[in-house]
Amino acid sequence: MIALILAAAIGSASPNVLCPVTGRPVTNHMLYHHVTVRGRQYYVYDREAAARLKNCPDCYLAKDGTPLNATRR
């Protein structure tokens, strides 16, 4: 049962917790802007980051839609 729940959570497109452009946290999704790119919604830190992500998604997103800064530590 737990395995099914985990698989569903991993398989679903969950909101990002870091802005793909600035790398700043966007944990309260009620306060931040969002942009839809390639059919997925991404939360961004501010309007400038939203414009940058819309204008050049390949600069900030991998081909599968994962933010490039998601793997950085």
Asked if the structure places residue 50 within a domain, the reply is yes
Asked if the structure places residue 28 within a domain, the reply is yes
Residue-level pLDDT at 14: 59
Asked if the structure places residue 63 within a domain, the reply is yes
Asked if the structure places residue 9 within a domain, the reply is no
Quick: pLDDT tens for 18-35.
Answer: 999 999 999 887 888 999
Q: Rounded mean pLDDT of the chain? A: 81
Among residues 37, 39, 53, 41, the alpha carbon closest in space to that of 14 is found at 41
Asked if the structure places residue 2 within a domain, the reply is no
Quick: pLDDT tens for 39-52.
Answer: 999 999 999 999 99
* Block residue for tokens 């940058």: 52
Residue-level pLDDT at 7: 38
Asked if the structure places residue 6 within a domain, the reply is no
Q: 43 — phi, psi (to 5°)?
A: -90, 135
Asked if the structure places residue 51 within a domain, the reply is yes
- Domain of 24, in residue numbers: 15-70
Domain count, the chain: 1
